[in-house]
Amino acid sequence: MRKFESMDGQMLIGGVKASEIVKKYGSPVYVTDEDAVRSNYRAVFNAFDRCMPTRINYACKANTNLAILRILQQEGSSIDAVSIGEVEACLRAGFTPDRILYTGVNVSTPELRAVASLNVPINIDSLSELRRLAMIDPHLPISFRVNPEVGAGHHEKVVTGARSTKFGIPRDRIVEAYAEAVQLGFRPMGLHCHIGAGVQVVEPFVKATEALVSIVQSLERDLGLHLDFVDIGGGIGIPYHPEDHAMDLDLLARSITSLIKEGTSVKRIVLEPGRYIIADTTVLLTTVVDIKETPDRTFAGVDAGFNTLVRPAFYGSFHHVAVANKFDLPGEATYDVVGPICESGDHLAKERRLPRLGEGDIICVYDAGAYGFSMASNYNMRPLPREVLVHKGTANLIREGQSMEDLLRDQRIPSRLMI
């Protein structure tokens, strides 16, 4: 969990007081520290690149803000995209098609055609997708996603590598898939898997890599194929709890790359961190609007709910919270931090010891950069919030908040209902 400095009891984010950000841009608001984004990218890239040539495909589903994409483009990152919308956003942010790898699941033919028309390499998820792509462009660079039968993650809903999930070509059919691809005219360039999200230990990555190495050996032996890369996917977790330890990136890199180098002729590793790069760079600032005491607990009502940050309601996820304008004060009372959504599950935090709260105080929700804004919604007809980027004491608006007019603009009432 990232540590923040303070000045006169006020929380600082990238050298800017959280209270000043709320005063200028309103609340709720997402705030990202540019230097933290760059630092996280360099940490994961350097850990692996010291062991073997490395390509980082930032999993942009975690956060697709154009300014953040542009920062990573400048850092030399490539992209893992899962939709045509993400592909278009990354192209707009300055990524060239060869720096994007499209990994969709249950891809429609129109979307497949749209991605191929942009000359973006495609990571094939099924034999159906392979055969449909062959009719569109059999010369497009491709790789394959295999289901490694190794699953892990912080919640059952984010485990993607288990045998029972919808993702990837079954492991016992993957060599057959490569053989068919060659017959169709493709030259497969890589092999990919993804085990799940928020994995905090090395062992599942090692098991998945062992599965990939075994497949590569079969491809080299049986088909004479020599791949350009092995892609171990993403899923590196972060410490959401203050007492959690961060992943040992150096141990992870050494453990995985040694298997690839010793067992195959592959010269490059690809990985797809999203959460690791962006989660702890961003906080959600939300204002206390109501204090309600009940016989069982005290609720701190704020102006952000699961429409703004859905992870606690959806996954039961923990996010550390602090009082940004009372940052140095000790906890005096226990609160549930709840939002304005008409659902009993609208909690951002439960039973947290915080300084005595009053209306107008600013709650900072930590580690909100991954799957925060990107999973936000307009539920209860609430507009999406602003996003702000801070850098060495300056703040810039990087996404305007929605208005009620934005929410209603595209709706239509048939004329017969107006009579």
| Spatial separation of the C-alpha atoms in residues 88 and 142, rounded to whole Å | 19
Exposure letters 9-31 (e unless 16+ CB within 10 A, then b) = ebbbbbebbbbebbeebebbbbb
* Cβ–Cβ under 8 Å, residues 197 and 188: no
Q: Which of 51, 60, 90, 342 is flagged as catalytic?
A: 342
Q: Which residue has the tokens 């990202």?
A: 32
In which region does residue 299 sit, left (phi positive, over 0), alpha (psi from -120 to 50) or beta (all else)?
Answer: beta
* Cβ–Cβ under 8 Å, residues 149 and 161: yes
DSSP state, residue 45: H
Omega cis (within 30) before 28: yes
Structure tokens at 417: 């209902």
What does R_g of the chain's alpha carbons equal in angstroms? 23
Q: Is 364 a catalytic residue?
A: no
Output the CA–CA distances (angstroms, integers) from residue 120 to 42, 114, 116, in the order listed: 25, 9, 6
DSSP assignment of 278-312, as one string? HGGGEEEEEEEEEEEE-SS-EEEEES--TTT--HH
Query: Cα dihedral sign for 43, 48, 51, 55?
Result: negative
Question: Identity (one letter) of the amino acid at 223?
Answer: L
| Spatial separation of the C-alpha atoms in residues 130 and 273, rounded to whole Å | 26
CA 213 centroid distance within chain:
26
* Active-site amino acid positions: 342
